[in-house]
Each structure stands twice: as structure tokens, then as C-alpha cells.
């Protein structure tokens, strides 16, 4: 197949539709000009679906229930997961793929890859697995996941990750590597995330309010920056188990007028806030369960928006930022260093902030343009189809 536009991809996802998974949704909508079908673990009713969509988690037939006591333990012991389709669901999935005729399967996240890899191999469909974060970090603490990956990798045509850190982690902690492995970040729409008129003293954070984002540390650091830069503001977008503790800390520190915690917001509102923010702040760290970032999309968006990033040397972040040139990084848990950089940058002139933001924007244009990265992904998978 010589014409890349004729290629059809099947995108495998856990849930459809998750608004925050902009990279997954973009692949469904844009990959090979939108010539895609979708295999989802389950539908959540937030988006209409049509004949291009297949839901794996279907009601079991009587025959499936009879097979379950034998098949599920075998799948768990050998494949590392009970979710590999079997019986009538497998038959319907095979029929769906034969009808849709995808040339290649792209599994979003390793945990979906282990589900479909045996079937893809049996049907002779090239399959790639895209690793993005927890699937190549905290999930590796489970022996069954490591076993599942060891079974999956030889059945894959290729492996993609958003950072080299994740590929290295897979090899170091699960003992798996693939000769056809590449790094392709999720990227950002650099035509949409363009620097706007910056609000003096404005800082922003975006991400789930969870341990690996350390939102309470960001609030404490900003409290010190506020002392040095009265009138500064911090908007932290995201929800999660640490949202209420974060709101309590804001009240305890008397920061209600300066720190805003709106919870989750639509992507267009996040963009509107980010392009007007001078700083982007995020103290990413390895959670106690081993969960890490891959290469945070928000970091790439902030760079495109011309923000000065103050963050950590964590996971793939050092692959994006250059310390002192396009932002600042400190070691994980270095709250003092994190605070110091936030205080220092807040005290810079608008021109100095704009100059570093412009350098970050240039890197985003050169390395994180999602249109360029999508084309790179398409070409990488197309080579397998052509071969």
C-alpha cells in the first residue's frame, strides 16, 4: 500500500469518551484523515457511537459463562489479564474487525495492548502499543502486568512512548524492549495554543489533584511568591482526591483572593487561561505507588503558550525543558528550590518573562507540533503496513 491516505486504523481505548484524553480523541478523529474504527472497553454515554465502534464489555452468553471458570484462570496465568476476549464476544470482535478491515491497530496505553495483542497476531493485523505514563510506571509494580507485557511485546509490530524515560522504565522494571520502539510525544496544537496578552503576576497549574502532581506543595510555594509579589494570582485547574485538601490549605493560608481552584474545566477554557498566564507551575514527582508522568501534555501546552515553566526533573520533563533556557527544574521533593524559582521568576520584569516564554514557544513549535507528530506516527505505522 503506497498511498498513506488509504490506510485505516483501529484505535483501542479503555473508555469512550474521556474529554481529558485529548491525544486519544485526536487519534480517533484525525489518524489517517479520520479513517478509523474504535474498540473500546466500555462506552460511558458521553458521545454518540456508530457502526465504527465496538464495545468489548458485553453481556456474557450462557456458553461464555460455562467457559469462564476455565478460560479466565488460564488467561490470568498465561496472559496476565482476564480481559482477553473469548467465546461469543471474541467472535463478535473478530467479525467487527473483518467488517471494518483495519490495516493497523493502535492500542492507547499498554493495558489495552495486552487485551488485543493475541487476537491481532492471530488475525495478522499489525499492532502498535502507545505508552503514556502509569502504564509504564506504577502498573509495573504488579507481577501480572509484567507477565502480561512480556507476553505482549513479541506480538507487537512496534512500541511508541511519549518519552524515552518510559521506554527505559519498561526495560529496567519489566525486562521488555522492542526493536521497533520510537518516542513520539503527544504534542500540542501550536496554532491554537499561542501566547496571548499576559496578565502580570499570573501563574497556572493544570492536572489532576493527585499525589504525583503535588498540588499542596505548589500552593505553599506560591504563598511565598505572593509575599514577594503582592497581587500575584495562581489558578489550579483539575479535580481529584487532593482538591478539597488543597482548598482547605488555601483557606488556612488566607489565600482565597489569590488562589483559584475551579476544579476541572473544558479544554478551551484551560487554553484561554494558559495563553494569558506568565508562569506554569507543576511539581511532578513519583508517587508512592510508583506512578509517574510520561511527558505531561500540560507542559507542552504551556511551552506553546509562552509560559515560563517551573517544574521538576521528573520522567520525560527534562526531555522537553532546558533548565535556565526554557524553564526551571528542581529535583523531586525539593520544595525549597521549587519555591525559590517561583519567587525569583515572579519578580522578573514582564520583558524577561516574555523572553524565556518565547524560547519555550520556539521549542514547542519545533518539537511538539501535534500535526507534525501525528504525521510522524502515521508514517511510522504505515511502514509496517507497506512491508
pLDDT digits (tens, 9 = 90+) for 195-217: 999 999 999 999 999 999 999 99
Using alpha carbons only, give the angle 224, 227, 233 rounded to the nearest 5 degrees: 85
- Alpha carbon distance 285, 326 (integer Å): 20
pLDDT of residue 165: 96
Q: What is the reported pLDDT for 58?
A: 86
pLDDT, tens digit (0-9, with 9 covering 90-100), for 144-182? 999 999 999 999 999 999 999 999 999 999 999 999 999
Question: What pLDDT was estimated at residue 79?
Answer: 85
Return the number of other C-beta atoms located less than 10 Å from residue 244's C-beta: 12
What pLDDT is recorded for position 3?
A: 66
Domains and CATH numbers, the chain: 4-187+369-386 (3.40.50.2000), 202-367 (3.40.50.2000)
Rounded to whole angstroms, the Cα distance separating 383 from 128 reads 12
CA 150, 141, 291: angle at the middle one, nearest 5?
Answer: 115
Cα–Cα distance, 3 to 206 (Å, whole number): 39
> Mind listing the pLDDT tens digit for each residue in 62-102?
998 999 999 999 889 888 888 899 999 999 999 999 999 99
Residue 202 C-alpha from the chain's centroid: 25
Determine the average pLDDT of the residues in 33-56: 94
Banded model confidence at residue 270, pLDDT cuts 50, 70, 90: very high
Give the DSSP letter of residue 76. Answer: I
Q: Tell whether the model's pLDDT for residue 384 goes beyond 90.
A: no
Residues contacting 258, CB < 8 A, separation 6+: 222, 226, 232, 233, 234
- Confidence band for 22, pLDDT divided at 50, 70 and 90: confident
**Is the predicted pLDDT of residue 5 greater than 80, yes or no?**
no
> pLDDT band at residue 21, thresholds of 50, 70 and 90?
confident
Phi, psi torsion values for 106, nearest 5 degrees: -115, 110
How far is Cα of residue 239 from the mean position of the Cα atoms in its chain? Answer: 16
Instruction: For residue 247, give the C-alpha cell.
Output: 482548598
Say yes or no to pLDDT of 109 above 90.
yes
Residues 6+ apart with CB under 8 A from 315: 133, 137, 163, 165, 166, 284, 292, 293, 294, 295
- What 340-343 contacts at long range (C-beta under 8 Å, 24+ apart), as own/partner pairs, is 341/310, 342/203, 342/221, 342/222, 342/224, 342/225, 342/279, 342/281, 342/310, 343/221, 343/224, 343/225, 343/228, 343/229
Q: Is the confidence at residue 106, as pLDDT, over 60?
A: yes
Q: What is residue 369's predicted lDDT score, i.e. its pLDDT?
A: 97
State the pLDDT at residue 352: 97
| pLDDT score of 4 | 73
Report d(CA 223, CA 253) in Å as an integer. Answer: 8
pLDDT at 345: 97
Amino acid at each position: 500500500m503506497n498511498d498513506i491516505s488509504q490506510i485505516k486504523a483501529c484505535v483501542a481505548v479503555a473508555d469512550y469518551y474521556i474529554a481529558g484524553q485529548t491525544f486519544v480523541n485526536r487519534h480517533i478523529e484525525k489518524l489517517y484523515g479520520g479513517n478509523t474504527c474504535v474498540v473500546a472497553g466500555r462506552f460511558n454515554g458521553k458521545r454518540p457511537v456508530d457502526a465504527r465502534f465496538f464495545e468489548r464489555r458485553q453481556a456474557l452468553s450462557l456458553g461464555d459463562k460455562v467457559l469462564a471458570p476455565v478460560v479466565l484462570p488460564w488467561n490470568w496465568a498465561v496472559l496476565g489479564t482476564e480481559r482477553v476476549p473469548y467465546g461469543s464476544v471474541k467472535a463478535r470482535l473478530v467479525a467487527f474487525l473483518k467488517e471494518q478491515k483495519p490495516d493497523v491497530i493502535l492500542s492507547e496505553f499498554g493495558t489495552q495492548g495486552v487485551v488485543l495483542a493475541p487476537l491481532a497476531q492471530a488475525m495478522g493485523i499489525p499492532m502498535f502499543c502507545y505508552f503514556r505514563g502509569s502504564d509504564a510506571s506504577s502498573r509495573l509494580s504488579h507481577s501480572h502486568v509484567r507477565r502480561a507485557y512480556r507476553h505482549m511485546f513479541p506480538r507487537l509490530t512496534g512500541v511508541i512512548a511519549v518519552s524515552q524515560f518510559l521506554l527505559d522504565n519498561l526495560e529496567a522494571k519489566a525486562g521488555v524492549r522492542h526493536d521497533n520502539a520510537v518516542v513520539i510525544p503527544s504534542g500540542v496544537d501550536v496554532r491554537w495554543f499561542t501566547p496571548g496578552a499576559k496578565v502580570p503576576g499570573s501563574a497556572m497549574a493544570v492536572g489532576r489533584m493527585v499525589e504525583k502532581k503535588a498540588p499542596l506543595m505548589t500552593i505553599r510555594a506560591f504563598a511565598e511568591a505572593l509575599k514577594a509579589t503582592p497581587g500575584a494570582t495562581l489558578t489550579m485547574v483539575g479535580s481529584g482526591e487532593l482538591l478539597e485538601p488543597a482548598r482547605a490549605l488555601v483557606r488556612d493560608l488566607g489565600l482565597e483572593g489569590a488562589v483559584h481552584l475551579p476544579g476541572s474545566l473544558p479544554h478551551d477554557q484551560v487554553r484561554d487561561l494558559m495563553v494569558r498566564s506568565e508562569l506554569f507551575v507543576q511539581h511532578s514527582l513519583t508517587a508512592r505507588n510508583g506512578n509517574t508522568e510520561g511527558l505531561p501534555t500540560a507542559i507542552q501546552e504551556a511551552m506553546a503558550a509562552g509560559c515560563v515553566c517551573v517544574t521538576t526533573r521528573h520522567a520525560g520533563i527534562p526531555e522537553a525543558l532546558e533548565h535556565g533556557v526554557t524553564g526551571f527544574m528542581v529535583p523531586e521533593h525539593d520544595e525549597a528550590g521549587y519555591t525559590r524559582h517561583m519567587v525569583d521568576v515572579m519578580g522578573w520584569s514582564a520583558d524577561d518573562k516574555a523572553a524565556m516564554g518565547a524560547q519555550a514557544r520556539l521549542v514547542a513549535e519545533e518539537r511538539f507540533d501535534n500535526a507534525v507528530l501525528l504525521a510522524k506516527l502515521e508514517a511510522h505505522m504505515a511502514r509496517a503496513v507497506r512491508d
